[in-house]
Amino acid sequence: MTNFRSEELFRRAQELIPGGVNSPVRAFRSVGGTPPFIARGEGSHIFDADGNEYIDYVGSWGPLLLGHRHPEILSALEKALEIGTSFGAPTEQEVELAAAICEAVPSIEMVRLVNSGTEATMSAVRLARGFTGRERIVKFEGCYHGHVDSLLVKAGSGLATLGLAGSQGVPQAFCDTTMVLPFNDVDVLEGVFRTYTDRIAAVIVEPVVGNMGCVPPLPGYLEALRAITARYGTLLIFDEVMTGFRVAFGGAQELFGIHPDLTTLGKVIGGGLPVGAFGGRKDIMSKLAPAGPVYQAGTLSGNPLAVAAGLAMLRHLKAHPEIYRRLEAHTAALCASVPPGVTVNRAGSMFTWFFTEGPVYDYESAQRSDTARFARFFHAMLERGIYLPPSQFEAAFVSAAHSDEDIRRTVAAACEAWQA
Ligand code: HOZ
């Protein structure tokens, strides 16, 4: 497998773009080597600039639930292009997408579209503070909610990959109102609420964490979160940017039967185009400008191309509920057996092979992974044509486009690569 063209592009990129990439984890810093520069994708496969072909388990970090270049999404985009690319004014399709989201996710009574998951979580936190009149927020170690100043504390994803506790450039005052607790620990949560009773505006959580690798909630944890926040008048925000429409049509909240007050979405709802959304209870959402006093705005919000792709995605998923059974079966087959020293975590079509005896249920246990061994495994898989997230602390994603043969080849590759 050669990568001369990717190496040449990476050298040039590093002269022009910080670290050579437009988002840190893509630079392969924690696994070493040169990232393949992707030339095109088709279904479950991607092809790099040197002509190498891979089975793709990144799927653009989650959005491509139907794989690359799904015909219904392409056709919706072609139709949208005939009409215009941006108006900065309301359109009928935005109303349709809002209706599709509210119908699929019953806790969302009203929704606002934005352009990224980061915008969605930033806005949801501001809204929670505006609604409650409180300033403090609680987040969990290893959860990542985009690069929002006040949420970049002990965050997962790129910060975990690069081994950073936080980011320079964030004023201390922005973090002083953020309390960071271990995920999956009810006692610590109870203790914090007993101390801060009526001062916590919101708890924000990835109900299945995808940004320290895949870490599902322990039985009863989300139920406890819901009960405690309700008792203290604190809003519960589910960050479902990754899990929304992925672990189930109605997201993790459908899977676990929990109604949060606010939900953030992104990834799948854009069908591969840049989009985000936040929504929830009508009485809370009605506080948003221009209906209420909490400000939030965006020139490209509700962009016609992103809305068209998102609507095509949600309509396809609604019409084909069997997709979730297929995703479940394929991902379960990938996770069916691991050798000693490897722990596998899975929720629906998200999974991670952790290089530790396990169990992995929070950031500390995820950090026990042997990242050098992960890096060797990662490269052994890449050489065998399997493209995994280039970090121990990111979830892998299966799409509906993955075939039985893709899964069989991946399992066979993994059996060899464990020895690397
Ligand atoms: N932090 C993103 C996933 N958790 C990765 C984004 C990207 O590199 O595209």
Residue with tokens 């080849």: 409
Q: Convert the pLDDT of each residue in 312-362 to its tens digit.
A: 999 999 999 999 999 999 999 999 999 999 999 999 999 999 999 989 999
**Does residue 303 line the site of ligand 1, with CB under 6 A?**
no
Q: Convert the pLDDT of each residue in 124-134 to its tens digit.
A: 999 999 999 99
Half-sphere exposure of 396 (CA within 13 A, CB side): 28
Catalytically active residues, by annotation: 144, 239, 267
| Residue nearest atom 4 of ligand 1, based on CA coordinates | 157
Q: What is the DSSP letter of 389?
A: -
**Does residue 118 line the site of ligand 1, with CB under 6 A?**
no
Q: What is the mean pLDDT of the chain?
A: 96
Ligand 1 nearest-atom number relative to CA 23: 8
User: Within a 10 A sphere around the Cβ of 213, how many other Cβ atoms?
Assistant: 29
Rounded to whole angstroms, the Cα distance separating 173 from 302 reads 33
CA 22 to ligand 1 centroid distance, Å: 10
Rounded to whole angstroms, the Cα distance separating 280 from 264 reads 9
| Residue nearest atom 1 of ligand 1, based on CA coordinates | 157
CA 74 to ligand 1 centroid distance, Å: 23
Q: Convert the pLDDT of each residue in 4-46 to its tens digit.
A: 999 999 999 999 999 999 999 999 999 999 999 999 999 999 9
Q: Convert the pLDDT of each residue in 373-420 to its tens digit.
A: 999 999 999 999 999 999 999 999 999 999 999 999 999 999 999 988
Share of the chain above pLDDT 70, in %: 100
What's the pLDDT band for 270 if we cut at 50, 70, 90? very high
**Does residue 267 line the site of ligand 1, with CB under 6 A?**
no
**Does residue 214 line the site of ligand 1, with CB under 6 A?**
no
Rounded to whole angstroms, the Cα distance separating 349 from 334 reads 10
As a CATH number, domain 71-319 is: 3.40.640.10
Cβ-contact 268, 65 below 8 angstroms? yes
**Does residue 25 line the site of ligand 1, with CB under 6 A?**
yes
Ligand 1 nearest-atom number relative to CA 62: 3
CA 211 to ligand 1 centroid distance, Å: 9
Residue 283's SS3 state is helix
Q: Convert the pLDDT of each residue in 143-185 to its tens digit.
A: 999 998 889 888 888 887 777 778 888 888 888 899 999 999 9
- Per domain, the residue ranges of the chain are 4-69+320-417, 71-319
CATH architecture of the domain 4-69+320-417 equals Alpha-Beta Complex (3.90)
Q: Convert the pLDDT of each residue in 75-99 to its tens digit.
A: 999 999 999 999 999 999 999 999 9
CA 286 to ligand 1 centroid distance, Å: 31
Question: pLDDT value at position 162?
Answer: 79
Q: What are phi and psi of 137, to 5 degrees?
A: -130, 155
**Does residue 239 line the site of ligand 1, with CB under 6 A?**
no
Give yes or no for residue 138 having a pLDDT over 90: yes
Q: Which long-range contacts (CB under 8 A, 24 or more apart) does 223-231 make?
A: 223/256, 223/258, 224/186, 224/189, 225/189, 225/258, 226/258, 226/259, 226/260, 228/186, 228/189, 228/190, 228/193, 229/203, 229/261, 231/193
**pTM listed for this prediction:** 0.97
Rounded to whole angstroms, the Cα distance separating 179 from 135 reads 11
